[in-house]
Amino acid sequence: MGQRNLRPPAGAREAFLKALLPEALLDLPLEGTALIEASAGTGKTYTIANLYLRHVAAGREPRDILVVTFTNAATEELRGRIRLRLHDALAFLRGETQGDDFLEGLAKRVPERLAERLALALQSMDEAGIYTIHGFCQRALQEFSFLSGQPFDMEIGEDEPIRLEAMADWWRKTFYPLGALEAGFRESALGGFDGFREAFNELDRPLPPVLDPPPPPLGEVEEECRRLETALRSLARAWEEHGAELQALLLSHPGLKRNGPYQKGRLEKALRELDVFFHAPRLDAVPEKMVILTPGKFQENLKGGDPPGEPFFEACEAFLKELRDLERALAPAHLADALERIRCDAAKAKRRLGLRTFDDLLVDLDRALDRAPALAERLALRFPVAMVDEFQDTDAIQYRIFRRIYEGREGSALTLIGDPKQAIYSFRNADLFTYLQAKERIPPNCRWTLVTNWRSTPELIAAVNRFFSKEHAFLFKDIPFVEAQPAPGKKHRPLVRDDQPPVTVWRLPRGEGGKSLPLDKARERVARAVAREIAALLREARLGEMPLKAGDLAVLVRTSDEGGLVKRALGEVGIRAVLISRESVWRSVEAEGLLQLLEAVAAPEDRRTVRRALASPVLGLSLEEIAHRLQDEGSWTAWVEALEEARDIWLGQGFMPAFLRLLRRIDLPEHLPRTPAPERRLTNLMHLAELIQQASRARAGIDACLAWVRRTMEEALAEAHELRLENDERLVRISTIHASKGLQYPVVFVPFPFSCRPREAGKLLLWHDEQGNLKATFHPKEGEPAFIEAERERLAEDVRLLYVALTRAESALYLAFGMAGTRKGHAGRTALAWLLSGEDDPDGHPFEIKELDDGWEERLASPGLIRVIPLPEDGESFFAQEQVEPPSLAPAPFGRKFATAWKVHSFTAMAQGLPRPPSLLQGGEGLPPALAYPAGPHVGAFLHSMLERLDFTSSLDEQVEALATRFAPRFGLDAETALKGLIPWLEDVVHTPLGKGFCLADISRERQLRELSFDFATGDVDPEALEVLLSSMKPRGRRPPLNVERFHGLVTGVIDLVFEHGGRYWIADFKSDLLGHRFEDYVPRRLHQEMRDRRYDLQYALYTLALHRYLKVRLGDYRYQSHFGGVFYLFLRGMRPEDGPKRGVFFARPSFKAMKKLDRECFSHGCKDMPGTVTPGLSFCPLRGWGWPRGRHRGMARRALP
């Protein structure tokens, strides 16, 4: 395939961008900063891959090239596309393909060693630095932890519970000390706690907006509150003394008009309300009618003479003015105080827990670069080339990070790739103005644009260009619209139907009396028209030479509600559709229904909860069926027993087995088909179950899991989105515009561009000033600069959303437009109204067309490109989707033998069935901490998680306290209980001499590898021969036989600790078993018995063999006798420094002869009948720990672990 070359558009403005031609891409400087704007469908990913090729051809390796994008899915796509392009380039150089202009030009410019470099890059793609922005920040902080000041061990997660707790603490400390009346006024200004939380979340971002106007200090506002409360009480006393006279004056004053607020009946009613108010005055309950007591209102309603002139009225006017000023200052002052205090408290809590969020990673790296300029230099050396994809979705902190690393640095290259016309993620804190500022910093000769559209037909490209042809179509002068050009020689599949134009625009009809249709009615009529048109297309149209299929059509909407409306309309005409949304699966009906079921599983004795679960949408029971289960004793008993059984399984085996068993007990296959969209519901249910299963691993108990589910549903924090069904491709796709970005469809319907969601006065609004700084203004009025700018930015983003929607189409587009709605959000305030209007700029006020003239049709229509026709009337239409008859199936004969002896084995599996000694309970009072500490599997898991993270060479006090607070709840332990006696116990453990001249406290962290996962391949394993060999190793004596059959395959395991000391490599395994309540229970004789009973001899043999094979590969001069130190089994409860290795420490070092036999005979490398292509030998995977440092010690592994 030839290079996707780009021709300069007619009238393109060189001051803004230059078209990136093929020769320009080949000659693009490989140093400095450049900007590439890639319009929709112009081959952005292809261009990135070609730039990657150029850097590889120039001698860069994949590990030198940083590619950053914004989602995990995008990183995988980029990795795959770059790998494929490298493969294609190699094939071209070998003469296997031809006709690629770019590769031909590259080969001419870099003739030497190009194939060698490409082959090496292809082999090294696993080292490629392709990350999300957060992944890059995490990598930078950890790889350069000393410069960044970050700990080695960071847990990345959500901090919503911490933030919510900090918000609640601030709320309590701020308002609870106040009286009810004082607190009520302040709380109402914030909209209660829910309103406060919503506003706080809007402001709480990595780079918070500047409050405009700046709020006064909270102390001053509080003082003003107290002063106004005093003033109100004074007014109330004056009313109490002179109220009757004042009322009589207003009722009888000859100068007031009596046809407005001072009409006798209205005035009497208002005065009665004011009389009630003044008898119990409250700042948060000042009635609006108090304005009738002010001289300003008198002047508005004066028919002659002088207005009432009592000092009381002037005092009321002054009070109301000061109250309005206070109300405008109250919320900003409180929120400014809350931002400072809550962010500080949350940061402290996260440091204590060792938790960082994704936003924290950005802030941490930004601060580290500011604090340590050497870090920027190190990062530029580590990644001398960087390409940032989707740069229009960046923010100020992200751009500042890359600017600090690369701007002005010799020998480095930074390429920013994006499209400001597709910046539609402001709700995710993406900041278009950062993009525009970055663009301004880049010299014009380093700005390029891709304008050749490889997606759409030439006719459709011309039609879409017409929509955005007005000057300043995107409202900001720095976002020019450069007309897309069709790709020369590209073969397309046009929509073939009688007289079918590329774009069809349906004109909305008028309502009764020539008025605009209400929005709801307009949406319903358009949805029905879309359904009928799709039915007609599926009957009559072709896509090129092929019949049009349902999967070729997409309907793009703003919200899921709009999508549901279209889906129902399609269902009425017999067309199946799937709603593809990026809304969280936690907001689905299935999430709500599953929570009801799980609450009943957690409390089957609670009759009310169990009754409520019968109404769960997951069950889909009718009212009659629910009533039957409630009234029939047998049905009710069976229902409760099913819940009790699920609870027991959950407690004993975990969530997923309980969930699957419950599905069988409630007979889901019977109920599910009766619900709407059964396939979608089943998919969502299984997706939810997987997420809960993952969460349950870190949360002990049912209650902890349910609390996590409720919190996740409430905040919709989950990143996992709704799944697509396997047969989505055979259905009409209905998608939100946001979810459709990056996708394309042959035929696209955009049915509802006649509605929008304009900004509302009186709410917190975010906007940008002329310098691009983010501002926040509370309760601006229409006409104020903050409101005007916020509404202008809303309209600009709506234009960009419309651009994304229209550019998804390959062959044909449908839209509906016309005047609809009469209030907020009507057609006159939409992006399409702006594009079709004659106005060139909002001109200092919110853009709005009260009435569309008929000229918009003529301005838009274009023969052969865009046809404007009336919205089709309702009529009969039905499309019977083809039902594929399932073929007659029969089992094929199977003539091969199953390799049933091939297994994946581990020590746990091989030791399964051994008799277990009775578990001991923890001791009572007066015992040493190690022997008094709780016992049980959950305690052992907790202790392992602690030892996995402790730095043995440092003081343990702060480490243990922080880690125990963080991890104890995960294992069902109270943090206070978990900490009791733990610090002195672990101090004893790390300082107990191990008998080889060192203790754990002597082993620096960089010489350790913790939780080391391994697997190795093996040929036939003869259990009897293995037993004979093990009997010759420590500990000698009788031991229970292994219950394992002959097998071959893989052996897998996890080693607690591997470390290097004195040029030798050692293994340590931690055992927290409670063997007794005396230290004498941990002497060698007792430990030998425990090692035999639990068959730990087999375990340490497997660990030793795994490390032996690994070191043979990694160390060129490896010798078992000189490099392997031995194995320690550390029984933690028996370890004391004064006893040394005499208690709690078991040591073994298999002889070289035994190890050779274990390696070459018992677990030989030869593997037969292995499925797939598992490589014999060994692989390691460090889970949570550090690879061996390079060059730090002769005896250490020469290379980092894979």
Buried b (16+ CB within 10 A) or exposed e, 851-860: ebeeebbeeb
CB under 8 Å to 440, separation ≥6 — which residues?
A: 478
Residues 193-225: tens digit of each pLDDT: 888 898 999 899 888 999 988 999 988 988 998
pLDDT at 763 over 50: yes
CA 484 to each of CA 9, 166, 360, 468, 474: distance values in angstroms, whole numbers, following the listed order: 7, 51, 39, 11, 15
Closest by CA to 400, choosing from 372, 431, 369, 374, is 369
The phi-psi region of residue 1055 (left if phi > 0; otherwise alpha if psi is between -120 and 50; otherwise beta) is beta
Tell whether 1043 and 1176 lie within a shared domain. Answer: yes
Tell whether 401 and 292 lie within a shared domain. Answer: no
Token pair for 151: 């700990």
DSSP 1031: T
Residue 775 and residue 214: Cα distance in Å, rounded? 10
Tell whether 1122 and 994 lie within a shared domain. Answer: yes
CATH of the domain at 1041: 3.90.320.10
Residue in the structure block whose two tokens are 């990595």: 206
Contact 865, 461 (CB under 8 A): no
pLDDT at 261 over 60: yes
Q: Is residue 723 domain-resident?
A: no
Q: Is residue 165 domain-resident?
A: no
Contact 1167, 1048 (CB under 8 A): yes
pLDDT at 836 over 90: no
Residue 798 and residue 803: Cα distance in Å, rounded? 9
Name residue 318's amino acid. Answer: A
Q: Is residue 182 domain-resident?
A: yes
Residue 902 and residue 1048: Cα distance in Å, rounded? 5
For 274-278, 519-523, 671-675, 815-819, which range has the lowest pLDDT when averaged over its residues? 671-675
Pair type for strands 447-450 and 18-19: parallel
How far is C-alpha 665 from the geometric centre of its chain's CA atoms?
A: 34
Q: Is residue 646 domain-resident?
A: yes
Task: Look at residue 335 in the predicted model and tell me its pLDDT.
Answer: 92
Sign of CA dihedral 593, 595, 598, 604: negative
DSSP 10: T
Residues 1001-1012: tens digit of each pLDDT: 999 988 998 888
Contact 768, 775 (CB under 8 A): yes
For 566-580, 688-702, 960-974, which range has the lowest pLDDT when averaged over its residues? 688-702
Contact 809, 748 (CB under 8 A): yes
Q: Is residue 891 domain-resident?
A: no
Tell whether 435 and 305 lie within a shared domain. Answer: no
Neighbours of 811 (CB within 10 A): 25
Mind spelling out the 3-state secondary structure of 208-223? Answer: CCEECCCCCCHHHHHH
Q: Is residue 1193 domain-resident?
A: no
Tell whether 543 and 644 lie within a shared domain. Answer: no
Residue 873 burial class via C-beta count within 10 angstroms: exposed 0-12, middle 13-18, buried 19 and up: exposed
Residue 997 and residue 185: Cα distance in Å, rounded? 71
Q: Mean pLDDT, to the nearest integer, of 287-312?
A: 87
Token pair for 1001: 């406290």
Tell whether 563 and 599 lie within a shared domain. Answer: no
Contact 415, 446 (CB under 8 A): no
Task: Look at residue 1066 in the predicted model and tell me its pLDDT.
Answer: 96
pLDDT at 14 over 80: no
Domain boundary among 663, 681, 715: 715
Q: Which of 12-16, 174-178, 693-697 has the highest mean pLDDT?
A: 174-178
Q: Mean pLDDT, to the nearest integer, of 735-752?
A: 93
Task: Look at residue 841 in the predicted model and tell me its pLDDT.
Answer: 59
Tell whether 302 and 388 lie within a shared domain. Answer: no
Buried b (16+ CB within 10 A) or exposed e, 360-372: bbbbbbbebbeeb
CA 472 to each of CA 466, 469, 657, 835, 843: distance values in angstroms, whole numbers, following the listed order: 13, 9, 59, 9, 12
Residue in the structure block whose two tokens are 């004596």: 1037
Tell whether 688 and 743 lie within a shared domain. Answer: no
**Is position 1069 annotated as part of the catalytic site?**
yes
Neighbours of 1166 (CB within 10 A): 10
Of all residues in the chain, the percent with pLDDT exceeding 90 is 39
pLDDT at 527 over 60: yes
The phi-psi region of residue 1132 (left if phi > 0; otherwise alpha if psi is between -120 and 50; otherwise beta) is alpha
Residue 663 and residue 620: Cα distance in Å, rounded? 13
Residue 748 and residue 253: Cα distance in Å, rounded? 68
Q: Is residue 957 domain-resident?
A: no
Domain boundary among 450, 483, 511: 450
Token pair for 524: 């319903």
CB under 8 Å to 747, separation ≥6 — which residues?
A: 495, 537, 543, 548, 552, 553, 554, 809, 810, 811, 812, 813, 814
Residue in the structure block whose two tokens are 């900063």: 33
Among the residues of 454-606, which ranges form H helices? 458-467, 519-540, 560-572, 589-602
More confident residue, 428 or 1186: 428
Per-residue pLDDT band for 1200 (boundaries 50, 70, 90) equals: very low
Three-state DSSP class for residue 1021: strand
Tell whether 320 and 222 lie within a shared domain. Answer: yes
CATH of the domain at 807: 3.40.50.300
Residue 742 burial class via C-beta count within 10 angstroms: exposed 0-12, middle 13-18, buried 19 and up: middle
Counting the structural domains of the chain, the total is 5
Q: Mean pLDDT, to the nearest integer, of 1092-1108?
A: 93
Per-residue pLDDT band for 312 (boundaries 50, 70, 90) equals: very high
Three-state DSSP class for residue 1199: coil
Task: Look at residue 1197 in the predicted model and tell me its pLDDT.
Answer: 36
Q: Is residue 444 domain-resident?
A: yes
CA 996 to each of CA 64, 276, 378, 680, 1141: distance values in angstroms, whole numbers, following the listed order: 43, 89, 40, 62, 9
Domain boundary among 690, 715, 740: 715
Q: Which helix (H) or strand (E) holds 813?
A: strand 809-817
Task: Look at residue 1081 in the predicted model and tell me its pLDDT.
Answer: 92
Helices (H) and strands (E) in the chain, counts: 44, 31
Residue in the structure block whose two tokens are 């754990």: 1000
Tell whether 826 and 683 lie within a shared domain. Answer: no
pLDDT at 1119 over 90: yes
Contact 600, 577 (CB under 8 A): no
Task: Look at residue 2 in the predicted model and tell me its pLDDT.
Answer: 34
Tell whether 570 and 686 lie within a shared domain. Answer: no
Task: Look at residue 719 in the predicted model and tell me its pLDDT.
Answer: 42
Residue 758 and residue 846: Cα distance in Å, rounded? 9
Sign of CA dihedral 1061, 1066, 1070, 1075: negative
Closest by CA to 1072, choosing from 973, 1188, 1148, 1006, is 973
Q: Mean pLDDT, to the nearest integer, of 410-416?
A: 93
Sign of CA dihedral 396, 398, 399, 403: positive
First to last CA, the chain: 37
Please confirm whether the linkage preceding 753 is cis (ω < 30° from 0): no
Tell whether 649 and 767 lie within a shared domain. Answer: no
Buried b (16+ CB within 10 A) or exposed e, 433-472: bbbbbbbeebeeebbbbbbbbbbbbbbbbbbbbbbbebeb
Task: Look at residue 920 in the predicted model and tell me its pLDDT.
Answer: 60
Residue in the structure block whose two tokens are 């405009």: 212
Residues 630-645: tens digit of each pLDDT: 888 778 888 888 898 8
Closest by CA to 228, choosing from 322, 334, 329, 295, is 322
- Selecting among 393, 419, 1069, 1081, the annotated active-site residue is 1069
Per-residue pLDDT band for 1195 (boundaries 50, 70, 90) equals: very low
pLDDT at 1141 over 90: yes
CATH of the domain at 702: 1.10.486.10
pLDDT at 10 over 70: no
Of all residues in the chain, the percent with pLDDT exceeding 70 is 88
Mind spelling out the 3-state secondary structure of 1062-1121? Answer: CCEEEEEEEECCCCCCCHHHHCHHHHHHHHHHCCHHHHHHHHHHHHHHHHHHHCCCCCHH
What is the average pLDDT score of the chain? 84
Residue 290 and residue 468: Cα distance in Å, rounded? 51
Domain residues for the domain of 666 are 586-715
Residue 340 and residue 226: Cα distance in Å, rounded? 24
Closest by CA to 180, choosing from 278, 283, 277, 274, is 283
